[in-house]
Copies of this chain bind each other. A is one copy, B any other.
Amino acid sequence: MLELFRALSDETRLRIIKLLELGQLCVCDITAALELSQPKVSFHLSILKEAGLIMDRKEGKWVYYSLSAGDLFTRFLIISICEKLPNDADMKRLEDSRKARKC
């Protein structure tokens, strides 16, 4: 429970969770959407993964991350975050990046 709250106590990580509400995304999509450096994004993804909030799947060069099922409490937290967090700017950048076929 403490690890869960720790994982959620960072703005970047909440933004990642909100982005993943859309479905699986690769690291470069997330990096483009958040406008952050790739090592930074990888760092935060690793913390979310450790806490059991997200999972990854390798496919060729890419690693796709998505929200993991988790228990009822965890899912409730994720739903609440997604409901309350605005992320229009991130979404827009994600769309732009995908149109540009950057990865």
**Which A residues are within 8 Å of any B CB, using their own CB?**
1-2, 5-6, 8-11, 14, 73, 76, 80-81, 84-85
Contacts and interface: CB of A to CB of B under 8 A. Distances in A.
A5 B76 CA distance: 14
Contacts of A10: 2
A6 B11 CA distance: 10
Label chain A's interface by main secondary structure: helix
A58 to B, nearest CB: 30
A54 to B, nearest CB: 16
B76 A1 contact: no
A6 B13 CA distance: 12
Contacts of A85: 1
